[in-house]
């Protein structure tokens, strides 16, 4: 008879892993500060294939946008404008910035590979600003783009071909932004689809992949638990609609997503503790009549595309095909 060992409990200290200290006032001290880079807006001072510039979103909230465009963008006098990808970064709602060098390079490469105008959003982080603050910032970014007179957007961006994208927690934000956009209306900005890369969802009941990969080196179960504790409204449990889309109260908005004809690309990796939730999420969307493109790999891990340029290029190719199907 085969010896089936019980899964090992998670032994990772999440505060030590993330280098966080909880403060008495409910904030956290972040002892790990990822390196950041400045935007590169001046074509005469840069040899990069992609240019970028920062614009304020809401100075009161210290939010802003970093806009990327290929240096060799189409002639704005022609009809060959570029699709718009509005991007929300990951980090469990508590870490990273649109200026983080890893995320800046990812958006830079995406703008070049697709090609597209990429708008990366600097949103408020938890627990200083718990959800739905990030969702509110996401919608503010869409409304800003909708009404903006920004020269790059007006000259190079195709407002009729917009996609909302995020990775991990950013994919959670992108999903909720898509639901709100379906109810809000953003003309002349037309949302064609959502790109949800390894979306970060949760729930009170553990999934098989969460138990099996409890001590995952990239996203240990205790770390995911802490991120949700810091991000959700005080007193909310893991079945709150922000965390668990299977039990949330957004079905009316999903009906609007269906009627709008939006397609949703959901990606995941077999070595990610979140994979079971991601598969359940994709099936739920399909049951609701939403057009879904699901791409789940057997191997890999959470956030692999930010560490492996080859995998990043594969993801960009998948996104490019997804955008072309909607054009």
Tell me which of 148, 272, 276, 303 is the catalytic residue: 272
Catalytic annotation on 89? no
Token representation of residue 87: 């991007």
CA 84-86-91 angle, to 5 degrees, is: 150
Q: How many CA atoms lie within 13 A of 169 on its CB side?
A: 28
Q: For residue 243, count CB atoms less than 10 angstroms from its CB and return exposed for 0-12, middle for 13-18, buried for 19 or more.
A: buried
Distances (CA, A) of 164 to 13, 22, 59, 117: 34, 33, 23, 12
Task: State how far the Cα of 199 lies from the Cα of 175, in Å rounded to an integer.
Answer: 9
Contact 305, 318 (CB under 8 A): no
Of the residues 168, 180, 209, 269, only one is catalytic, namely 168
Sequence-distant (6+) residues with CB within 8 A of 263 are 192, 193, 194, 290, 291, 292, 293, 322, 325, 326
Nearest-angstrom CA–CA distance, 302 and 276: 13
Give the whole-angstrom CA distance, residue 234 versus residue 131: 10
User: Angle at which helices 101-113 and 309-326 pack, to 10 degrees?
Assistant: 50
Q: Which of 97, 158, 302, 303 is catalytic?
A: 302
* Known catalytic membership, residue 269: no
Cβ atoms 159, 189 nearer than 8 A: yes
Query: What's the sign of the alpha-carbon dihedral 128, 131, 136, 137?
Result: positive
Instruction: Check if 129 is active-site.
Output: no
**Catalytic (active-site) positions:** 168, 272, 302
């Amino acid at each position: 008879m085969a010896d089936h060992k019980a899964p090992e409990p998670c032994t990772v200290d999440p505060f030590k892993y993330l280098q966080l200290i909880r403060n008495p006032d409910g904030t956290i001290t972040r002892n790990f500060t990822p390196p950041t880079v400045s935007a590169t807006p001046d074509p005469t001072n840069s040899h990069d294939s992609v240019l970028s510039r920062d614009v304020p979103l809401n100075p009161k909230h210290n939010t802003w946008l970093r806009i990327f465009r290929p240096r060799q963008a189409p002639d704005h006098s022609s009809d060959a404008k570029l699709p718009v990808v509005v991007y929300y970064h990951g980090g469990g709602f508590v870490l990273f910035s649109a200026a983080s060098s890893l995320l800046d390079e990812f958006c830079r490469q995406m703008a070049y590979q697709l090609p597209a105008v990429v708008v990366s959003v600097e949103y408020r982080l938890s627990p200083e600003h718990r959800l739905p603050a990030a969702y509110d910032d996401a919608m503010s970014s869409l409304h800003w783009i909708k009404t903006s007179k920004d020269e790059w957007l007006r000259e190079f961006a195709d407002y009729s071909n917009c996609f909302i994208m995020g990775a991990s927690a950013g994919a959670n934000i992108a999903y909720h932004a898509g639901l709100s956009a379906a109810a809000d209306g953003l003309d002349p900005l037309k949302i064609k689809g959502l790109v949800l890369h390894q979306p970060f969802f949760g729930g009170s009941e553990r999934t098989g992949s969460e138990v099996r990969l409890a001590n995952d080196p990239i996203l240990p179960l205790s770390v995911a638990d802490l991120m949700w504790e810091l991000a959700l409204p005080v007193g909310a449990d893991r079945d709150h609609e922000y965390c668990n889309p299977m039990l949330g109260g957004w079905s009316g908005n999903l009906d609007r997503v269906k009627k709008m004809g939006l397609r949703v690309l959901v990606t995941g990796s077999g070595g990610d503790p979140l994979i079971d939730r991601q598969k359940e999420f994709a099936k739920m969307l399909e049951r609701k009549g939403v057009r879904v493109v699901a791409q789940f790999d057997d191997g890999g891990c959470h956030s692999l595309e930010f560490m492996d340029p080859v995998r990043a290029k594969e993801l960009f190719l998948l996104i490019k095909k997804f955008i072309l199907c909607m054009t």
